Amino acid sequence: MILTKEQEDALSGRRGPAAQWALETLCRLGEVHNSRVMVPVRSVHIPDWYANRSSEAWEHLLSSGAAVPTTANPGGPLRGLAAERARQLERLRPTRVYTCTCAPYLAGNHPPAGAAVAWGGRAAGAFANSVLGARSAAETFESAAASAIVAVTPERGPLIDERRQPTVAVTVSHTIANDHSLLGWLISCLAPGEVPLICGVAPDHDEVKRLAFSINRQGSMPLFRLSRGAPPPGLDGVDVPVSVWEDALRSHDGDVDLVIMGCPHLSEQDINRWGRLSKGRRMPEVEAWFFTSRLCADKCPATASVLRSRGKLFVDMCPLTLLDELRSRSVACDSCGLAECLRRNGVKARYAPSDELRSILAPGRPATASVQ
């Protein structure tokens, strides 16, 4: 790889042990991908703290601080003493380390279109590439922490313009295309590893958030495109037939005793929508857990209070950090990707479409006016 003088100094240890570790980590990653250069990044999002607590990476990040705005998925080291050390760094360093959400673009980490970033996490990375128009390759816990320290990442994957072009057109013409979480899950099954141009859909901001997580559930589809029109000529096509869709829903039948909402995290609009829908209705017969960031919950206290009254509202947390509690439950959730992750970890879980979730969480007619 071609390194700058500053990067060579870091690699040799002249900028301290944290920067040396970071450049060594990123150079190894660059060798795997035959990268030519390091690309400067505008921000970082660190994934997988709930499953991969690399003490070396964490200690180096704490000792040096982050060189660019950095967010992190929920879970992991930011608790207890580590949380206090992070707060100390925030007072001492010009660039804060923000936590903890799988939707960092809802919590202040919002790069401009075209910017190179180092965003890990299946939901965050796909959203950055496909919706925000930023450029990010897949990142692990260690590579993202290293990028936060030295503000670069190896040039590879979707960071390269030629690799951002659609490779297959996905035609979605039937009305059930409005179920964007299921749509993403099915596309990931039908065209793995492709850059799909999804034609005939127009999801809103919150629906495309759910689409991004489901389509990149295995980390192999970090980039997709959306088009309301017909696919362009010359691009191979994949149709999502109604029969496949119906089979997927049919396989998810079954009673539940817990509903999980918020994977990816509920936005302010999500909280308002579900809070207003639930206001004044009968209590659900099953327990409900809602997951969001503290920032989003604080923005809408009235509707967040409604959700708390109808179950539990978890802030800055992820359902996957509560696996021990979930293994004794029968779970329905608003995310195909989460349902699959839970099943892989021994939890009885299934996806529930929005109509079913409304009937479970907001039964009966409202007795009072909705929250304004």
Q: DSSP secondary structure string, 104-160? A: GGGTT--PPTT-B-EE-SHHHHHHIIIII--B-----HHHHHHHHHHSEEE--GGGS
Looking at residue 107, its pLDDT comes to: 85
Residue 354's pLDDT band (cuts 50, 70, 90): confident
Report the alpha-carbon distance of residue 98 to residue 101 in Å, rounded: 9
Unique residue bearing structure tokens 């409604």: 306
Residue 148 has pLDDT above 70, yes or no: yes
Q: In degrees rounded to 5, what are phi and psi of residue 25? A: -60, -45
- Tokens at residue 85, please? 């050390």
Looking at residue 31, its pLDDT comes to: 97
Tens of pLDDT along 52-74?
555 688 888 888 888 998 888 88
Walk me through the domains of the chain, giving residue ranges and CATH numbers: 5-162 (3.30.499), 165-249 (no CATH), 253-361 (3.30.499.10)
Unique residue bearing structure tokens 């993403």: 184
Average pLDDT, whole number, for the chain?
86
CA angle, 128 as apex, 122 and 133 as ends, to 5°? Answer: 150
pTM over 0.95: no
Q: Which residues have C-beta within 8 Å of that of residue 38, sequence separation ≥ 6?
A: 1, 3, 4, 7, 26, 30, 152, 153, 154, 155
Looking at residue 96, its pLDDT comes to: 58
Residue 7 has pLDDT above 90, yes or no: yes
Tens of pLDDT along 237-289?
887 776 776 666 655 566 899 999 999 999 999 999 999 999 888 888 899 99
Between residues 49 and 310, the one the model is more confident about: 310
Cα 272 from chain centre: 20
Mean pLDDT of 146-152: 96
Between residues 80 and 192, the one the model is more confident about: 192
Mean pLDDT of 9-37: 97
Tens of pLDDT along 37-57?
999 999 999 998 755 555 688
Tens of pLDDT along 74-113?
875 444 444 554 555 455 455 555 668 899 999 888 899 9
Residue 304 has pLDDT above 60, yes or no: yes
